[in-house]
Each structure stands twice: as C-alpha cells, then as structure tokens.
Amino acid sequence: MLVRLFSLIMIALSSVSVMAQIPEAPPEMKLYKNDIGTWDAVVKFYYDPNAEPVESKATEVNRMLGEMWALSEFKGEIMGAPFQGSSQMGYDPVKKKYVGTWVDSMSPFSIQMEGTYDEKTKSLTSFGKMKDATGAEMDGKWVVTYKNENERSMTMSSKPPGAKDFVVMMEVKYKRVADKAK
C-alpha cells in the first residue's frame, strides 16, 4: 500500500514537472490565429501561360490545435473534379520561421514549407519543394498577403528544374464568411 501511494505521488510530481516544461505559444502564432474561421475563396488556376486562368470557388475552414498549430481544411473543385486539401501551420522558434505542410486529394506527395512574415507588406512568403505528377521535384513559393482582417490572398508559384524564374500556378482570394466576420 505504501509503495502504491509513493508511486502515485511520483507520477503526480513528474506530471507537474512535464507540464512546467511545455513552452508557451510563440507570439508569432497571432498571425495564424487571425485566420481562424470560415472563408469563401475564389481560385484561379493557370494551366497554360497562353490561356486565361480557370476559375472556381472553394471554402476554407481554419481552427487551432491548442495554441501551437493552426489547421486548415480546404474544399472546392478543380476543372469540375472535387478537391480537398489540408495544411498544418505553426512557428518554429529555433529556426525563427513559419513552418507548414500541405496535402491534398489530387497528389500522393506532401509539401513542407518555411517562410518569413514582412510586417511592412503584410505578407508571409514561404518556400519549399514540391513534386509534379511524375514525382519530379521543383521549387515552390507561396505568398499570403493580408489586405485586412477579413480579406487575404495567396499566390502559389513553381520553378521547375532549369527554369530561371518562378511561374504563377494558382491565385486564391479569400473573404471571411459574413456571419463570422470580425
């Protein structure tokens, strides 16, 4: 009985010790906390640089996972086909960079990205590696620009191997759903 009591006390003390070691959320997470809620999106896909972009509508729902991560669920269509995507976004205080991942229903490849926020331009610019349908790797660039607390945009660009510049693949304009507007 005494051994059992001693064990319970040790478990309780170690739990308190572990909880004391959990860091507070970085202040940089405020950027993602502002995105929490439901957003309507207008998506433009640039399949052919010589043609007009293909436009579609989508919805994004963002929520927090504790105080350390923002999770995003994106649903829409691409050329009439259903499309879903999900991202996990946070801030790495050691790297001093925003970090994120992306997966979607049309690709077997995940994307990892790192970026920095420019307060002057109100833009988060991230870079990472992405793959085309064959698995060939290319550089990716994502720029999220915050117009105000209820509007933002995202431009996704890629630079295939050997290319000199990034080429815009997609643009998304977001508006916070009216009943959730701040």
Single pTM value for the model: 0.84
Q: How far apart are CA 61 and CA 177, in angstroms?
A: 10
In the predicted model, residues of the chain with pLDDT beneath 70 are: 1-3, 5-21, 179-182
Q: How far apart are CA 134 and CA 34, in angstroms?
A: 37
Q: How far apart are CA 157 and CA 122, in angstroms?
A: 19
Per-residue pLDDT at 179: 60
Per-residue pLDDT at 25: 86
Per-residue pLDDT at 181: 46
Three-state secondary structure readout of 63-105: EEECCCEEEEEEEEEECCEEEEEEEEEEEECCCCEEEEEEEEC
* Structure tokens belonging to residue 94: 């050691």
Cβ contacts of residue 7 below 8 Å, gap of 6+? Answer: none
Return the CATH number of 25-180, one of 2.40.128.20, 3.30.420.40, 1.10.287.130, 3.90.950.10. 2.40.128.20
So where are the chain's domains? 25-180
Residues 111-159: pLDDT tens digits?
999 999 999 999 999 999 999 888 889 999 999 999 999 999 999 999 9
